Amino acid sequence: MESFLSTTDLFIFFGSLAAVMGFGLWASRRGESSEDYFLAGRTTRWWGVAGSIFGSNVSANHIAGMMGVGYLVGFAQSQFEITAIAGLLLLCYGFLPVYRKMNIYTLSEY
């Protein structure tokens, strides 16, 4: 059976894997609790949190998919984005105070 990966490919793959694992182990020494892990020690500014939420929810697949749906069905697909804004505002102003009061950091803890 012929391998599709050359020695260089394997070296880059396992080298990258080792680097990511090494960085993760190094970074884990500084964390003291789950709060530090999930909330970055409460040191992240608002734009970092906003960028993280945006990066988690919107990707190239999302943008290309919305353009494709817009081409197929027209302007009606914009309702998805408009209702997503309403949903995020509901989460921020409706559920976030409850989560903070209960001192939980993830939905699994709820």
For the segment 68-107, what is each residue's pLDDT rounded down to a tens digit?
A: 888 888 888 778 878 888 888 898 899 888 888 988 887 7
DSSP 29: T
Q: Assign residue 59 a region (left: φ > 0; alpha: ψ between -120 and 50; beta: otherwise).
A: beta
CA nearest to 78, candidates 87, 86, 69? 69
- Separation between Cα atoms, residue 47 and residue 38, nearest integer Å: 16
The whole-chain average pLDDT of the chain stands at: 84
- Buried b / exposed e over 19-55, threshold 16 CB at 10 Å, is eeeeeeeeeeeeeeeeeeeeeeeeeeeeeeeeeeeee
> For a pLDDT cut of 90, what percent of the chain falls above it?
16
pLDDT at 22: 95
pLDDT at 1: 56
- Separation between Cα atoms, residue 30 and residue 39, nearest integer Å: 13
Indicate the pLDDT class of residue 18, thresholds 50, 70 and 90. Answer: very high
Instruction: Output the pTM of the full model.
Output: 0.50
Indicate the pLDDT class of residue 17, thresholds 50, 70 and 90. Answer: very high
